[in-house]
Structure 1
Amino acid sequence: MVNFGGLARKIFGSVNDRRLKSLQPKVAAINALESEMQALSDEQLRAKTDEFRAQIAEGRSLDDLLVPAFAVVREGAKRALGLRPFDVQLIGGMVLHEGSIAEMKTGEGKTLVATLPVYLNALAGRGVHVVTVNDYLAQRDAEWMGKLYNFLGLSVGVIVHGLDDAQRKAAYDCDVTYGTNNELGFDYLRDNMKYERAQMVQRDHAFAIVDEVDSILIDEARTPLIISGPLDDKSELYITIDKFIPKLSAEDYEIDEKQRTATFTEEGTEKLELMLAEAGLLKDGGLYDVENVAIVHHVNNALKAHTLFQRDKDYIVRNDEIVIIDEFTGRQMPGRRFSEGLHQALEAKEGVAIQPENQTLASVTFQNYFRMYDKLAGMTGTAATEAEEFGNIYGLDVVEIPTNLPVQRIDEDDEVYRTVEEKYVAVVIDIIAAQKKGQPVLVGTTSIEKSELLSSMLGDVKKLKQIRDTVQGRVDALKPGKEPELREYLETAVANLDAAIKAGGVKHEVLNARQHEREAHIVAQAGVPGAVTIATNMAGRGTDIKLGGNVEMRIADELADVPEGEERDRRIAEIEADVERLKQQALAAGGLYVLATERHESRRIDNQLRGRSGRQGDPGRSKFFLSLQDDLMRIFGSDRMDGMLQKLGLKEGEAIVHPWINKALEKAQKKVEARNFDIRKNLLKFDDVMNDQRKVVFEQRKELMDGTGLSDTVTEMRHEVIEEMVAKHIPEKAYADQWDIEGLKQATVALLNIDAPVDEWAAEEGIADDDIRERLIEAADKAAAERAERFGPEITEYVEKSILLQTLDTLWREHLVNLDHLRSVIGFRGYAQRDPLQEYKQESFELFQAMLANLRQAVTAQLMRVEVVREQAEAPPPEMPAMEPHHANATTGEDEFGAAAPEYGAAIVSGQVDAADRDPNDPSTWGKVGRNEACPCGSGKKYKHCHGAFAPTA
């Protein structure tokens, strides 16, 4: 059978090849301008920026200017940075400018590549955002590449944690702004909680280049950015429930590691009910009765905390707090918190201080935030495996950019052992052998716990002796004259282990979340001959592993106190010569050896680790050591594999090495990747529903902040409230004796604050509902006009804007909580053969409509009651709620909001009133009623569920 796809690729090249070929003419054109650019003085080169801007103002497109602009950047980079972009880097820059993802191998200079499209797009004057994964990289790249931008006349800003609003606004107003994905997303949310347009810091979402695009747009896409405020403290409840879980046995719950779920069995439920009842926490009925729904939530979180979340893998305990570890990068995420009570359950489990739960005030996913940009691009070393997701969700193509020099790294087949212990013995032997011949080794592990286990095996002489005895036992078990290659390998291993024991252990560095402050320094020296660096999968992010070591880092460390001058220059030359000598030793030993102790769920993470070796044409090799007890093999691998290996005669301490094993593992990884893609795609479908509503609310807020003359909006709201009120109490085509005139009169007082003679109107002969409606509108408009005349136009406008914005924000927050609750239960509709997504769309729309109706009522009721207190001193602006930004299902960290104080303070002057002075039939006598107080009308309901559902939220 003819493979026509393969045949076509041979003749015409792949889609990627054709895309690269189409860009070659532009590369040639840029190269042709090089001599012309070299002839320009610094001032003439800088003047090109103003020349390009003038051409754009005259109507030329950015595409028209690509060739000369890239030529200017290349020449500017040579002069400002001492770097000349290669031809492949020019191609990478073009791919980014076209709004695609450039996949470039580690060490190919992605940071420099970004300057080409950034400069070109910044000429349009709308600002360009360069997004990085952490503050360190944002600051480093802004400072490093800022030399080039400043040389060419562009301004550069950087957004990191801890800046105030003025500093943020100044950074966003620059031509080029570097920042982390978290900071940009939170600034967007905070901007849409401000009360003045001048307080907003972001200006536009024109063009963004996302570095490590796979990490930001895929790995972190499942968890929203959330800004939240604290709820009631329930510390004692968490501690009490946490004590129950250790009393349960393994038969009392079921764990599904694939789906990351934990559920109680019937026996477990019965045990829990008894314990909860004894503690007085269970209301009448069983655990799953509606009265106990809150307790179920706490109990489930406690079970998850104990069974699914492991200390030193999913989180660490530091300074009396739980710090989450990013499952993809292995970094600590200080300030981030799991939401919905899970973080509190972990705090109870570990016995640290329990922080209060939070209520969502605003949220957005990275997927929807970055899709707001008019043009989006990204760069990474590993995107091809996720090309389908990038295309489906973001409309981004992935283009593989060829390396400047051919890759010389040798990727060896995996070695698979039966047990973890056998695997680690082989890993230790291999590390010592590589170190002995002067080869730098980067050891990849999947968790802090495993990195520290391996570290203890290398550094503890007692453990090394145990390994030596195990290997010697295998030598002794070999029959004389049989398997000479294996005997030689084992005897060499014994000799190397003896030498390591004599030296007091194997010298090495550990790079995991506990040492994240030293990350750049450890990685910078990981390429020195014989260096052994044990790392979680964060290895090398942002700092290349250069063979021989990193010159810049050594100069910064060793010459920090040496002033500029001849002595410093001499020492720098010595360091450069030493690094070059060490580099030649490392090259002679075979380059960097990446030794991985486990495969990850994603092929992309494995490829990132492999990619640390073989940069810029350097030699190198990589190998994965696995066991059948590894998580991936155990959960997703074939159940028959162990039996098959035993049948093949696999003995203790031996490994199987075969390309088929690699293919089987790749299939398992593809299954996991597909499942995670489905989860993200499904989450996005639900978030898109909220996102449409979020856009409407945020746009409405901007219009309100910009609005002068909001009176028309307020009047329209008031008229709609009256129409709804009349329609409710005087149903269409109802007889006069069926009208609820008493209810209409009460509603008129509660919502419009006017004592209209509705009962007299209704008693008139031949009166219709339209007549009553028109009279109410006329009376309400008159009362509003009198109030506005008393205040004056300036104060009226301020009061209207303040109340509109505050009420909209309050109701939007309540709406978000309602959507969260709806989202958590909507999946059960599937049991009734109904599509949960369609049900969610319909019900969320109804909730949104109800929110808008509540907004009209609340705003109207407040504006018809508000009085102005004139103050000599400046009054504070409308209070922002206490807020915490959240991510990874929630992130904490106090935020400060600078806000210009308005000239007048608006206040509802109906303050606290004694209960005895309140007339249940006259809401105007109630004064300020607490949201959770019993409603003064005597219904027995809380105020917020009765008259407070539509009354002023004073």
Structure 2
Amino acid sequence: MLGIGTIARKVFGTPNDRKIKATRPLVEKINALEAEFETLDDAGLIARTEEFRRRIKDGESLDHLLPEAFANCREAAKRALGLRAFDTQLMGGIFLHQGNISEMKTGEGKTLVATFPSYLRALTGKGVHIVTVNDYLARRDAEWMSKVYGALGLTTGVVYPQQPEDEKRTAYAADVTYATNNELGFDYLRDNMKSELSQMMQRGHYFAVVDEVDSILIDEARTPLIISGPSQDRSDLYMSIDKIIPQLPDDAYTLDEKTRNVTFTDEGNEALEEVLHARGILPEGQTLYDPESTTVVHHVNQGLRAHKLYSRDKDYIVRDGQVVLIDEFTGRMMSGRRLSDGLHQAIEAKEGCDIQPENVTLAQVTFQNYFRLYDCLSGMTGTAVTEAEEFAEIYGLGVVEVPTNRPIARVDEDDRVYRTAKEKYEAIVAEIKDAHAKGQPVLVGTTSIEKSEMLSQLLTGADLPHKVLNARQHEQEAQIVADAGKLGAITIATNMAGRGTDIKLGGNVDFKVMDALAADPEGDPEAIRERIESGHAADEDAVKAAGGLFVLATERHESRRIDNQLRGRSGRQGDPGRSSFYLSLDDDLMRIFGSERLDKMLSKLGMKEGEAIIHPWVNKSLERAQAKVEGRNFDIRKQLLKFDDVMNDQRKVIFAQRLEIMEAEDVSEITEDMRHEVIDELVDTYIPARSYADQWDTEGLYAACIEKLSLDVPVMKWGEEEGVDADLVRERLEEASDKAMAEKLAAFGPDTMRQIEKQVLLQTIDQKWRDHLLTLEHLRSVVGFRGYAQRDPLNEYKTEAFQLFESMLESLRERVTEQLSRIRPMTQDEQQAMAQQLAQQQAALRRQTDAATLGAPATPAQTAAVSPKPGAGSSDAATTPLVQGFDETDPTTWGAPSRNDPCPCGSGKKFKHCHGRLA
């Protein structure tokens, strides 16, 4: 009996069916225009692009323009690549333009699909980003599809790591830019650390098409992108805290050795607060529970852990004045490895070693928050439906299943479950042997590199030739995947997402041609291609006769999506194929979800060794288990994102403020407002509201004016004058500070002063933001404990992060005002001293250059190469100076060697071990 939902779907269709149906009239319009665009010459296609651009400027909508733009793009692709887009590819492009994820099976031509919405959106002149999972695919797709865009009169760029700045700027200025998700994110962060608009790379976030969208927006979105650098030296803080910890009584903390956890008790917190106040580490009136105390609390906790949980010669050793960790499993030293979050520094303080600076976060963003910057985001993948809820909730993306161009002919067999891993692998090898014997290509999917290598050994033992696809070069990956469809091929691979190369039955013609040309460089490429294409048809027919590609998975992944990616490699474009999953009760997923009961049941049923249980119910049961795991992982990512959203809101404010400052020609109004706000705070602090003049702290205000504003004003006299109130004091301070700044403006000149103000603002914002990020990291690490007090950690984090942000803005105003009040033009004597210093440096450099080129031959590098080594030749030769005119008592005659260069005295030693040590 059919359920109500099933009957309703039969009558009304599914929501997905209705979306597909809605695009059919558009596809028909595009097809109706095909004959018109076929009559255009190549210049005519480009002329149409210019016409479309004019119409958009005149106010025509992109939706109205879509049929003509898609028809023009289809014609360009047909001429440039010899590929005519199917109707289903046009549908996929329409959904992308609308800001959806197009789920299209492997082999349906997603790379070409992306050109249609990208062309339409690029007509606005705002730039389009096409995002790929690795640099190889970004370069390959950009090179391949640039032929289409070029035929339409558009420019194409590709962004990659370590790219020269001018080249990268040109790539971002192109109409369509291909890049990886990592490089886009890092360039966004780098741009927001620049000090001038001309240095920025990206020109906005208008429209993006994300290829393998599930891999990028879900799998890789677990870890944020971070740009880090060395932090300020906090050695004094570590050492001050280190002296406190040994003095604490045993009842000040609780130690749980089982979980390796140590925490302060309530009594310990009180005692600690007193000591911190007494030693000046914690300011008077500030408690450990104030948001401003987060950093101190964090370091105190790390100091306690260093003393109570980490033991010398057990967890670490001290060698050559450095703390070296010991691996608890192997007992070996882990040189170069350091504990994070200041814990390693706390141990260094405990042992009296030199304290190495921490690495701090200079800038940070999650992929979720980066991609939500785009006005319109879209994506393509073969597997997205299982994660539709996450895409909708996090990114506001709908998922549409686009039908295949030809019906799928692949046979998906029920899972085979064996009792032990040994039985399973024996059955797998036997199955592969049978398939190989009849020439059927086999793609074997594994969940880890370790298991793929183990299976490779089993196949080698069975004399079965095969290839293993692990984490190697992307070019090698493409070659291995391209060969996986050849007659009798056996390929073992880990995760198949984002490989970017189709497995074509009989092998990939393009790769066969490349191999043939590599073997015969003098051969005629056209003749070689013709010969290979004629032979390829026979190879393809032979593979089809053998049953097509056989996908054999060695276990279920915790995500159904990964399983579907692997399965989808078979049966592309209506090809025959089959897929089968071989499982055992020892597999991780089976073990976690009640394999003991299943094992007992199978034993009672009398299952013999080597037998498998095969039933659709098993498949459904496993899919339910996978759905549970997916739901749990989604909840974890969602919770992490909620915390990051707090930082993201603040990040957007800071980055927007930086951009506004860089765009402004004159920021004097901003700095004036800041200065006046600082004056307001000073007056409010030292002249309490509704107080009498004899209650004013005029001495404190006078000192603060000198420190914060560099103003020597008679504040104490003002307090003695009749009729002077707080407002009049404020007014006089503003007048005095404005006059001082006006004098600086006259001394420096308007252009110089504006530049100084802008740079001080930007540098101070960057410094304060870096410090704020570190404080938020420390807050995040301790706020989870609030849950024990029945308080929501997220709400606590939001409240305290907001207070810290306000505090940061306040200190930002003070710092900018202080710095600008202290700058002054250099005196004539100072200018002369600096000019003299520069002249000496240039003279020393000239002497070095003259000495190196004297007698014509050698460059400094060549001079170093022929210099005598210690012990080589006579003792006289070993001390011949390398720099002519070298005077041991006059460092200006030594040239400018780096620390590792040979010493210019000719001793043969490195400069840092010779005269450089004395300098």
Give TM class, smaller chain. Answer: 0.7 to 0.9
Code of the residue aligned with 1:295 in structure 2: it is A
- Checking the alignment, whether the CA contact within 8 Å between 1:741 and 1:762 is kept in structure 2 is yes
Q: Which residue identity is paired with 1:85? A: A
Displacement of 1:340 = 5.3
Q: Report the counterpart of residue 882 of structure 2 in structure 1.
A: none
Bigger CA drift: 599-608 or 702-711? 702-711
SS in 1 for 2:550: strand
1:198-242 Cα offsets, whole Å, 9 max, x none, are 1111112111111001111111222111111135899xxxxxxxx
Structure-2 change in CA distance of 1:693 and 1:555 (3 Å): same
The offset of 1:308, in angstroms, is 13
Aligned to 2:268: none
Contact 2:303 2:343 (8 Å CA) reproduced: no
Match of 1:558 in 2: 516
2:476 to 518, 533, 537: 518
Where 1:756 maps in the other structure, the secondary structure is coil
* C-alpha spacing 1:63/1:360, structure 2 compared with 1 (3 Å): same
Distance 1:297 1:226 in 2: 31
Q: Is 1:692 paired with 2:658?
A: no
CA apart distance, 1:575: 2.0
CA distance in 2, matches of 1:289, 1:44: 72
Q: State the match for 1:359 in structure 2.
A: 360
Change in Cα spacing, 1:789 to 1:230, as seen in structure 2 (3 Å) is same
What are the Cα deviations for residues 346-388 of structure 1, in whole angstroms up to 9, with x where unaligned? xxxxxxxx99852111111111111111111111000000111
Structure number with the bigger relative contact order (C-alpha 8 A, sep ≥ 6) is 1
Partners of 1:100 and 1:306 lie apart in 2 by 50
User: Which of 774, 778, 794 is equivalent to 2:735?
Assistant: 778
Q: Structure 1 341/753 Cα, relative in aligned 2: closer, same or farther at 3 Å?
A: closer
Measured after TM superposition, the shift of residue 295 of structure 1 is 3.1
Q: Residues of 2 paired with 1:154 and 1:791: CA distance?
A: 47
Superposed displacement of residue 749, structure 1:
1.2
Match of 2:257 in 1: 266
**Equivalent residue pairs, number:** 761
Task: Please show how residues 132-211 of structure 1 align to structure 2 within 5 Å.
Answer: 132-211=132-211
1:723-738 matches, cutoff 5 A = 723-738=680-695
Q: What is the alpha-carbon root mean square deviation over aligned residues?
A: 3.4
Give the Cα–Cα distance (whole angstroms) in 2 for the partners of residues 637 and 712 of structure 1.
Answer: 68
What is the CA-CA distance between 1:413 and the residue it aligns to? 1.0
| Alpha-carbon offset, residue 59 of structure 1 | 1.5
* Structure 2 counterpart of 1:458, one-letter code: L
Distance 2:696 2:479 in 1: 80
In 2, Cα distance between equivalents of 1:111 and 1:453: 35
Q: What is the CA–CA distance in structure 2 between the aligned matches of 1:620 and 1:159, rounded to whole Å?
A: 37
* Distance of 1:872 and 1:658 partners within structure 2: 88
Structure-2 residue corresponding to 1:811:
768
Secondary structure (helix, strand or coil) at the match of 2:603 reads helix
> Deviation of residue 516 (structure 1)?
4.9
Aligned to 2:575: 618
- State the SS of the aligned residue for 1:733: coil
C-alpha separation in 2, matches of 1:661 and 1:220: 30
Alpha-carbon shift at residue 829 of structure 1 (Å): 1.7
Contact 2:262/2:309, CA 8 A, preserved across alignment: no
Asked if 1:599 corresponds to 2:548, the answer is no
More off after superposition, 634-643 vs 644-653:
634-643
The Cα offsets for residues 2-38 of structure 1, whole Å up to 9 and x where unpaired, read as 7332211101111111111111111111111112222
C-alpha distance in 1, partners of 2:383/2:473?
25
Distance 2:301 2:800 in 1: 21
State the Cα deviation string for residues 679-703 of structure 1 (Å, max 9, x = none): 1111221111111111111111011
**Equivalent-residue separation in structure 1 for 2:821 and 2:773 (angstroms):** 27
Query: CA separation in 1, counterparts of 2:194 and 2:694?
Result: 49
Alpha-carbon distance in 2 for matches of 1:309, 1:511:
30
1:452 is matched with 453
Check whether the contact 2:302–2:342 (CA below 8 A) recurs between aligned residues: no
In structure 2, what residue type is equivalent to 1:18?
R
CA distance, structure 2, for counterparts of residue 825 and residue 232 of structure 1 = 22
CA distance in 1, matches of 2:73, 2:371: 27
Q: Is 1:676–2:633 an aligned residue pair?
A: yes
Pair 515,716 (structure 1): closer, same or farther in 2 beyond 3 Å: closer
Select the residue among 745, 750, 756 that pairs with 1:788.
745
Could you tell me whether the CA contact under 8 Å between 1:562 and 1:568 is conserved in 2? no
For residue 831 of structure 1, what is the amino acid of its counterpart? Answer: Y
**Partner of 1:220: helix, strand, or coil?**
helix
Distance 1:532 1:25 in 2: 45
Distance 1:414 1:644 in 2: 18
After TM superposition, give the deviation of residue 795 of structure 1 in Å.
0.8
Q: What's 1:408 paired with? A: 409
Shift of 1:558: 2.4
Q: Which amino acid aligns with 2:647?
A: M
Change in 2 beyond 3 A, CA 1:429/1:356: farther
**1:518 CA displacement:** 1.4
Gaps of 5+ in 2: 235-253, 264-274, 276-297, 317-324, 346-354, 839-919
Q: Which residue of 2 aligns with 1:375?
A: 376
Say if 2:676 is the partner of 1:719: yes
* Amino acid paired to 1:690: M
Q: How far apart in 2 are the matches of 1:731 and 1:28?
A: 77
Distance in 1 of aligned mates of 2:756 and 2:497? 55
Tell me the equivalent position of 1:11: 11
Which position in structure 1 is the counterpart of 2:70? 70
SS at match of 2:379: strand
Corresponding position: 1:399 with 2:357: no
Query: What is the DSSP-based 3-state SS (H/G/I as helix, E as strand, rest coil) of the residue aligned with 2:222?
Result: coil
- Does 2:499 align with 1:508? no
Conservation of the 8 A alpha-carbon contact between 2:262 and 2:305: no
**Distance change (3 Å), C-alpha of 1:857 and 1:673:** same
- Per the normalisation by structure 2, the TM-score is 0.78
Structure 2 equivalent of residue 421 of structure 1: 422
- Structure 2 partner of 1:895: none
Give the aligned partner of residue 708 of structure 1.
665
CA distance 1:568–1:767, shift in 2 (3 Å): closer
Shift of 1:658: 1.5
CA contact (8 A) 1:761 1:772 kept: yes
AA of the residue aligned to 1:428? V
Q: 1-side partners of 2:512 and 2:71: how far apart?
A: 33
Shift of 1:124: 1.0
Residue equivalent to 2:246 = none
- In the superposition, relative to structure 1, how do residues 270 and 151 fare at CA in structure 2: closer, same or farther (>3 Å)? closer
Q: In structure 2, what residue type is equivalent to 1:667? A: R
AA at the equivalent of 2:767: T
Q: Which amino acid aligns with 1:825?
A: V
Superposed, 1:215-230 pairs within 5 Å as 215-230=215-230
- Partners of 1:730 and 1:271 lie apart in 2 by 46
Please give the secondary structure, in 2, of the residue aligned with 1:183.
helix
Q: 1:573 to 1:637 in 2, by over 3 A?
A: farther
Does residue 848 (structure 1) correspond to residue 805 (structure 2)? The answer is yes
SS at match of 1:640: helix
Structure 1's 168 and 448: CA in aligned 2 closer, same or farther, altered over 3 A? same
Amino acid at match of 1:834: R
Equivalence for 2:280: none
| SS of 1:545 mapped into structure 2 | coil
Q: Are the equivalent residues in 1 in contact too, given 2:131–2:209 (CA < 8 A)?
A: yes
Which of 808, 831, 834 does residue 791 from structure 2 map onto? Answer: 834
Q: Runs of 5+ in structure 1 lacking a partner?
A: 235-262, 273-283, 311-319, 323-336, 345-353, 462-499, 876-954
**Aligned residue number for residue 98 of structure 1:** 98
* Counterpart-to-counterpart distance in 2, 1:380 and 1:307: 41
Deviation at 1:428, TM superposition (A): 1.2
Task: Give the counterpart letter for 2:644 in structure 1.
Answer: D
Q: CA deviation at 1:715?
A: 0.9
SS where residue 513 of structure 1 aligns? coil
- Note the C-alpha offset of 1:714: 0.8
Larger Rg: 2
Structure 2 CA distance, aligned partners of 1:73 and 1:634? 52
Matches within 5 A, 1:925-940: none
Over 3 Å counting, the alpha-carbon distance change for 1:267 and 1:387 in structure 2 is closer
